[in-house]
Chains A and B, each alone.
Chain A
Amino acid sequence: MNAIVKTPKTASKLATATRRGVIVSATAAGGALLVGCSMGDVLSMGAKKQDFGAFGPFIKIDPDGWVTVFNKHQEMGQGNHAGLAAIVAEELDADWDKVRVQPSAANAKIYANTLIGGLQGTGGSTAIANSWTQLRTAGAAARAMFVQAASVRWTTPTKDITVKDGVVSHVPSGRTVRFAELLPDVAKLTPPAQPTLKKPSDFTLIGTDRVARKDSLAKSTGTAGYTQDVHLPNMLTAMVAHPTRFGATVASFDATAARAVPGVVDVVKIPTGVAVIAENTYAARKGREALKVTWNEDKAEKRSSDQIMTSYKGVVAGKSDVKWHAFQTAGDAATAFGGELFHATYEFPFLAHATMEPMNCVAQVDGRKVKLTFASQIQTLDQLNAAMVVGTLPGAVEIQTLPAGGSFGRRGNPTSDYATECVHIAKHVGGGRPVKLVWTREDDMTGGRYRPMVLHTVAIRTDTDGYPAAWRHRVVTQSTTKGLPGAGAFDPSAVEGTKDSPYLKATPVVDGQAYIADSPVTTLWWRSVGATHTAMAMEHTIDQLAHKAGKDPADYRRALYTRAGATRHIAALNLACEKAGWGQPLPAGTARGLAVHESFGTVVAQVAEVSLVDGKPRVGRVVCAVDCGVAVAPDLVKAQMEGGTCYGLSAALYGAITLKDGVVEQQNFDTYQVLRMNEAPTVETYIIASANPPSGAGEPGTPLIAPAVANALLVLTGKPTTSLPFVKA
């Protein structure tokens, strides 16, 4: 669509984008642009004016004493809601048991993620990190207002007033008053812009196990409301027939039989396929089964996975004339790679996120009014994409954000794929009638947005002590940011974790280059993004080099970390090794594997105990040491290490989406095998005390288990791992 906003003169100029650093410098929604406005102003164009209470956009306190914290982020399981609320409660000195959390409205002007500039959204393990100062300030400002109000009411200096658990006290007289009783007084005040924040040593809530989830009861009684559970009056349910090959489009369709299915209301072509609209889910499914669609596959991907990997290998071998992107260079590569070299190759398949709740959305479109009710992860992109479908301003798209039944990155994507589909269907239905789009498991599994296939190759010359002297590294993969407004041709996440690795910093000559291939197969960030493959390539390479040098892998790493000044890596490695009993005897047939990796500002070291059972790796005990700065919610950090390890192990053991002549071979959990209870490791987590601002916890626990297992298998079998998953289909 064109010109959603009256445009000033300058041409649109948008954005370089990575997942963590989206810098959008003009509106993306159709080439229009504003000058002299902040990005938040632009992205929230058309938004209803929001009136906040006395405490601003993040805090509401009711006369019954309950404190509501508005969460601008998506709660997809990672538990950010509890950490964010605890930050507020700490500075406010609220009663933690009377603090609750609600999703905020979608409004980038107010609720932007400061680490993905301009956009309201959740990703890159940034929820706590970007909210840290913002919410401490909001909490401290509200506290200061209560202190001031009490000071006026009691005509006493503020220095004599204390606050604890939602009660304001006058120390000399012993008088007390609850927050709720002071609300009328506070309403006359304005929050101070720069309130005094607590010293971290004075925290009484942050960093304690009192910071527990607030949603466990609802999630244990079936009452947590997910998108799948939305029932609105007069609501229709839709399913979409998608092509079996990526890049195919609808040539023609015959809806006669589909329309004859009882409960089917309508059948309509939309840009991504043909939608069957019905009175309920089962009728929509039966209607879709009866639908006949002919696809135009002229531009479709018809290769198989092995052909794609062969083409990647051809690129590395110099068989194609491609433009490489040099991501890290040091020293004189022209002369440094003579003599004997260590070579390794690592192949990675497509991976599906396979959230427990398949993708879905509820949309209502009435003219140019749009309301979306769903687990939006990047609200601003969803607003932009929905606005383009109906021709309205992005801020006029109202979003009620619901919790997600998992995401791992899937729900936030550049084109808002499933949400946009739902808006197209609701636009066709019109009149504001609610439409719930349901993707089946099969739709979800075959619907793309995969972690891309990746090829890493390394060639290393070692010095006389066995340490790397020259490191050549090649990465070939697809972009995860294709289609993101303003994204460049090169996707920096393709090499994050290899680039600037302590090992490369410790190596005098580095020749690191990457190539971004293209395909109609859609790709996306997947929990821990580049680290899903770079951690394996780096950590498994290091163990092979250590073995070749006859050195202990922990000692070998310490030497390189010392050269690179990677003190946090050393601390994490030492703690994990100490707790795991590194070097202590194990039963015959069991070996330990070590991995250390930094992602999203958090360093994790992991030691896994691995044996082979019927030829398959069996992981028992896993010890994690994590440095994530201040751990706001230690038990939730532990939960993320436990869950991240399982998610990573699931992919390492079994995860592979494969194409046969362009058609996805996996449809459901019978063929896309995932980790189950009987294979789950026991994860112990130790958090390194830190006064640094919090970094992320949702993703950094994921990428280590694959190399840790590979390194243990190297001990057990003497053979390196050259491709994932470990268990071939």
Chain B
Amino acid sequence: MALTLNINGHDYPVQADPDTPLLWVLRDELKMTGTKYGCGIAQCGACTVQADGQAIRSCQTPIQAAAGMKITTIEGLGGTHPLQAAWVKLDVPQCGYCQSGQIMSAAALLAAKPKPTDQDIDDAMSGNICRCGTYQRIRAAIKDASGQAPATANA
């Protein structure tokens, strides 16, 4: 059965079973590998994308549920999002594997709350695991991108 997915503003016909998680269609069929597999059970956030602006876990979203929504992946941020600039400025990534998901969660946060508090950041970002422990710089970069930044991650 063919479904159509709207991803980053483009329609893609896909052939996979309707119960296939969006993650695997993105990665295996559409070769959009910026969205990562981390746990498969919506516990780590590495697979985070946005559906109609909301951060969702693509590993637990069957494509039949994603059809009809506007999906945005890390590729859709274009590389010029203020968060991406802040991530580079503060050298947030270490291994980097979780960072697509971190940035997609943060982008959804900033879209809803342009000046998030520490509590807002905790609430929005605690579903995204970083095993390298870059949390402190993620927090600093979110604040930097929202114009309320400490100058350095170590401040």
B-binding residues in A (CB < 8 A):
76-79, 212-213, 215-226, 228-229, 231, 237, 280-282, 354-358, 403-408, 440-442, 635-636, 638-639, 642-647, 650, 668-670, 674-678, 680-685
B40 touching A441, Cβ below 8 Å: yes
The answer to whether B121 touches A220, judged by C-beta atoms less than 8 angstroms apart, is: no
1/0 contact string of B113-139 vs chain A (CB within 8 Å) = 000000001110111111111111111
**A355–B32 CA distance with the chains assembled, in angstroms:** 22
Which parts of B80-112 form the interface with A (CB within 8 Å)? 83-84, 87-88, 91-100, 103
Which residues of the other chain, A, contact B136 by a CB distance below 8 angstroms? 642, 680-683
Inter-subunit contact A646/B133 (CB<8 Å) = yes
Asked whether, in the complex, the Cβ of B132 is within 8 Å of the Cβ of A77, the reply is: yes
Contact of B20 with A by CB under 8 A: yes
Known pairs A219-B99, A677-B125; list 12 more (Cβ under 8 Å): A77-B132, A212-B91, A222-B33, A228-B37, A229-B33, A280-B28, A356-B46, A441-B44, A642-B136, A676-B127, A678-B123, A682-B136
Docked complex Cα distance between A212 and B138 (Å): 16
A482 to B95, CA, bound (A): 28
Distance, CA A642 to CA B137, complexed state (A) = 9
Asked if B131 and A354 make an inter-chain contact with CB atoms under 8 angstroms apart, the answer reads yes
Q: Which A residues lie within 8 Å of B138 (CB)?
A: 677
> Is B132 within 8 A of A224, CB to CB?
no
How far is A178 from B57 in the complex, measured between Cα atoms in Å? 50
Q: Please name the residue on chain A nearest to B124 by beta carbon.
A: A677
CB within 8 Å for A441 and B38 given contacts A222-B74, A222-B75: yes
Count residues of chain B with CB under 8 A from any CB of chain A.
61
Is B16 an interface residue when CB atoms closer than 8 A count as contact? yes
A-facing residues in B26-83 (Cβ within 8 Å)? 27-29, 31-41, 43-44, 46, 73-75, 77, 79, 83
What are the 7 A-B residue pairs with the smallest beta carbon separation, nearest first?
A: A222-B34, A646-B133, A405-B97, A219-B96, A77-B95, A77-B94, A680-B135
Q: Which residues of B contact A675 (CB under 8 A)?
A: 133, 135
> Out of A77, A405, A668, A681, which one reaches B41, CB within 8 Å?
A668
Contact check, B100 vs A222: say whether CB atoms are below 8 A apart: yes
Bound-state Cα–Cα, A218 to B93, Å: 10
A356 touches B79 (CB 8 A): no
For A220, the chain B residues whose CB sits under 8 A away are: 83-84, 87-88, 92-93, 96, 99, 103
Partner of B31, one of A78, A231, A356: A231
Q: In the complex, what distance in Å separates the CA atom of A594 from the CA atom of B130?
A: 26
Chain A residue numbers with a CB within 8 Å of B38 are: 356-358, 441
Indicate if the CB atoms of B94 and A639 lie closer than 8 Å. Answer: yes
Contact B94–A79 (Cβ < 8 Å):
yes
Contact assessment for B21 and A282 in the assembled complex, using a CB-CB cutoff below 8 Å: yes
Nearest-Cβ distance from residue A623 to partner chain B, whole angstroms:
11
Least CB separation from A648: chain B residue: B133
By beta carbon, the residue of chain B nearest A685 is B154
Give the shortest distance, in Å, between A602 (CB) and chain B (any CB). Answer: 18
Please report the C-alpha to C-alpha distance between residue A405 and residue B133 in the assembled complex, in whole angstroms: 13
Q: Are A643 and B134 in contact (CB under 8 A)?
A: yes
Distance in Å: Cβ of B122 to nearest Cβ of chain A: 4
CA distance A625 to B31 in the complex (A): 44
Say whether, besides A221-B79, A280-B28, A669-B39, A231 and B95 are in contact (CB < 8 Å).
no
Are B154 and A684 touching (Cβ within 8 A)? yes
For the complex, give the distance between the alpha carbons of A225 and B33 in Å: 8
Q: A231-B31, A677-B128 are in contact. Are A221 and B40 (CB under 8 A)?
A: no
Contacts of A77 in B (CB 8 A): 93-96, 132
- B88 engages A408 (CB within 8 Å): no
The CA of A280 and the CA of B125, in the complex, are separated in Å by 31
With A220-B99, A647-B132 already in contact, the answer to whether A78 and B94 are too (CB < 8 A) is yes
Q: Is the CB of B28 within 8 A of A669?
A: no
By the criterion CB–CB under 8 Å, are A215 and B96 in contact?
A: yes
- In the complex the two chains form, is B97's CB within 8 Å of A356's CB? yes
Which B residue sits closest to A219, measured CB to CB? B96
CB atoms of B39 and A642 under 8 A apart:
no
Partner of A282, one of B24, B34, B129, B134: B24
Question: Looking at the complex, which one of A222, A403, A635 makes contact with B73 (CB distance below 8 Å)?
Answer: A222
Give the Cβ gap from A71 to chain B, nearest Cβ, in Å: 15
* Chain A nearest CB, measured from B117 CB (Å): 13
Min CB–CB distance B40 → chain A (angstroms): 6
Q: Are A215 and B93 in contact, with the CB atoms below 8 A? A: yes
Sample 6 A-B pairs with CB under 8 A, ordered by A number. A281-B37, A403-B96, A635-B154, A636-B91, A674-B131, A683-B136
The CA-CA distance from A220 to B101 in the complex, in Å, is: 10
Closest Cβ neighbor of A686 among chain B residues: B154
Q: Which single member of A407, A644, A646, A678 contacts B126 (CB below 8 Å)?
A: A678
In Å, the complex CA distance between A442 and B93 comes to 25
Chain B positions within 8 Å of A354 at CB level: 131
Query: A281–B131 contact, CB under 8 A?
Result: no
Nearest B residue to A633 by beta-carbon distance? B91
Query: Do the beta carbons of A647 and B133 come within 8 Å of each other?
Result: yes
Q: Which residues of B contact A213 (CB under 8 A)?
A: 91, 93
Minimum CB–CB distance for B121 against chain A, Å:
7
Asked if A644 and B44 make an inter-chain contact with CB atoms under 8 angstroms apart, the answer reads: no
Q: Are A676 and B91 in contact, CB atoms less than 8 angstroms apart?
A: no
Bound-state CA distance A683–B34 (Å) is 29
Q: A643 to B73: give the CA distance in the assembly, Å.
A: 26
Q: Within the assembled complex, what's the spacing in Å between the Cα atoms of A225 and B36?
A: 11
> Do residues B129 and A231 form an inter-chain contact, with CB atoms below 8 A?
no
The answer for the CA separation of A392 and B35 in the assembled complex, in Å, is: 37
* Chain A residue with Cβ nearest B29: A280
Question: Is B79 within 8 A of A355, CB to CB?
Answer: no
Q: How far is the CB of A703 from chain B (nearest CB, A)?
A: 14
Contacts of B46 in A (CB 8 A): 356
Residues from chain A with Cβ under 8 Å of B41 in the complex:
441, 668-670
CB neighbours of A683 from chain B (8 A): 136
Closest to A676 in B: B126
Tell me the bound Cα distance from A215 to B132 in angstroms. Answer: 15
Residues of B contacting A681 with CB < 8 Å?
A: 136
B132 partner residues in chain A, CB cutoff 8 A: 77, 356, 406, 643, 646-647
Closest CB in chain B relative to A379 CB, distance in Å: 18
Q: Which residue of A lies closest to B97 (CB)?
A: A405
Give chain B residues whose Cβ lies under 8 Å from the Cβ of A403: 95-96
Roughly how many angstroms separate A226 CA and B97 CA in the complex, as a whole number? 8
Contacts of A281 in B (CB 8 A): 24, 27-28, 37
Q: Which residues of A contact B20 (CB under 8 A)?
A: 282
Q: How far is the CA of A226 from the CA of B83 in the complex (A)?
A: 22
A282–B135 Cα gap in the complex (Å)? 31
B100 proximity list for chain A (CB < 8 A): 222
Report if A228-B94 is in contact (Cβ < 8 Å); known contacts: A222-B75, A441-B38, A676-B126. Answer: no
- Give the Cβ gap from A321 to chain B, nearest Cβ, in Å: 42
Give the CA-CA distance A228 to B125 in the complex, in Å: 24
**In the docked arrangement, what's the CA distance between A646 and B131, Å?**
8
Contact B129 A216 (CB under 8 A): no
* CA A643 to CA B138, docked complex, whole Å: 12
Q: Once the chains are docked, how many angstroms separate the CA of A642 from the CA of B138?
A: 12
CA distance A219 to B24 in the complex (A): 20
Residue of A212, A357, A635, A683 with most partner-chain B CB within 10 A: A357
Contacts of B125 in A (CB 8 A): 677
Residue of B with least CB distance to A701? B133
- Give which listed residue, B44, B88, B96, B134, contacts A669 with CB less than 8 A: B44
- A168 vs chain B, min Cβ distance (A): 31
Cβ–Cβ < 8 Å partners of A280 in chain B: 24, 28-29
A639 to B35, CA, bound (A): 24
A100 to chain B minimum Cβ distance, whole angstroms, is 15
Query: Do A639 and B137 touch (CB < 8 A)?
Result: yes
Are A216 and B91 neighbours in the complex by a CB distance under 8 Å?
A: yes
B121 touches A356 (CB 8 A): no
Q: Chain A residues near B40 (CB, 8 Å)?
A: 440-442, 668
**C-alpha gap A281/B35 in the complex (Å):** 15
Q: How far is the CB of B99 from chain A (nearest CB, A)?
A: 5
